[in-house]
Amino acid sequence: MNNILFIHASPHGKYALGYRLAQKILTEGTFSRVSLVERDLLAAPLSPLTHRYASALASHNIGDRIDAALTESEQLISELEQSDRLLIATPMHNFSVPAALKLWIDHVVRVNRTFIASAEGKQGLLHDRPTTVLVSAGGMLQGDNPQPDFLTPYLTLILNTIGIQNIHFVYLQGLAFGEPAIANAWNQAQAALTRAGVLTNEIP
Ligand SMILES: Cc1cc2nc3c(=O)[nH]c(=O)nc-3n(C[C@H](O)[C@H](O)[C@H](O)COP(=O)(O)O)c2cc1C
């Protein structure tokens, strides 16, 4: 069963290389698809966090009642609950996740809803699922002279916090260095996805 949730967070939308690679996975990938929910965080921006939302999160008395301030958060969490495979295509912005993806995180990482805080630390409440993260970057993230990368450890930790442990990162890097570098990044990313068993053909 593959109910896929596809999150993308590039201001370039469907022209982003990460988006195009995600489409290749969705159309030619090794997993059969039952359903697809697509969230374009730039084309359909999420609401900024409000005072009511922050207050609702701080309240210990919500119980089973869903406050109206949590409606959008509930919708996003429900999309996670109903999916069993997660695909995220995101650019690196200023060494970390772009603001649109951070806002999605702030809507779905909720105490007593997607994680609980205990003496042993935070424990995720969502089921684990295979998760592929496609990261696009103008500079290099791996190799001889990589830039600092706060995106990978941060996104890993935050997904772990809500219960998602099975995460595989694939990098489209060096995209600011012109056409040969872009072609190389595309081929390297496809090779990584092939090694991971997500794609079957290394070179189209
Ligand atoms: C606001 C902003 C910040 C950026 N910061 C970084 C960065 O820290 N490191 C990097 O390698 N590229 C950075 N870039 C370049 C993007 O990561 C690069 O253009 C990438 O190809 C965008 O991928 P996309 O086409 O999927 O949006 C930044 C771009 C923008 C717009």
Confidence of residue 94 (pLDDT cuts 50, 70, 90): very high
Q: How many C-beta neighbours within 10 Å does residue 19 have?
A: 20
When computed from its CA atoms, the radius of gyration of the chain, rounded to whole angstroms, is 18
Choose among 52, 24, 49, 53: nearest CA to 187.
24
pLDDT at 132 over 60: yes
pLDDT confidence tier of residue 64, bands split at 50, 70 and 90: low
d(CA 93, CA 23): 22
Are 198 and 30 spatial neighbours (Cβ–Cβ below 8 Å)?
yes
Q: Rounded to the nearest whole angstrom, what is the distance from the C-alpha of residue 138 to the centroid of ligand 1?
A: 5
pTM of the predicted model as reported, rounded to 2 decimal places? 0.95
pLDDT band at residue 204, thresholds of 50, 70 and 90? very low
* Distance from Cα 100 to the centre of ligand 1, integer Å: 13
Q: Which residue's CA is the closest to the ligand 1 atom numbered 18?
A: 138
Q: What is the pLDDT of residues 46-61, one digit of tens each?
A: 999 998 888 888 876 6
Position in ligand 1 atom list of the atom nearest CA 10: 27
% of the chain surpassing 90 pLDDT:
81
For the chain, domains (ranges, CATH) are 3-195 (3.40.50.360)
Specify the ligand 1 atom closest to the Cα of 90. 26
Ligand 1 atom 27: the closest Cα is on which residue? 10
* Angle CA 29–33–34, to nearest 5: 175
Residues with CB under 6 A from ligand 1: 10-12, 16-18, 91-95, 136-139, 147, 175
Element at 103 (helix H, strand E): helix 99-108
**Which DSSP string corresponds to 138-195?**
SS-SSSSSPPP--HHHHHHHHHHHTT---EEEEEE--GGG-HHHHHHHHHHHHHHHHH
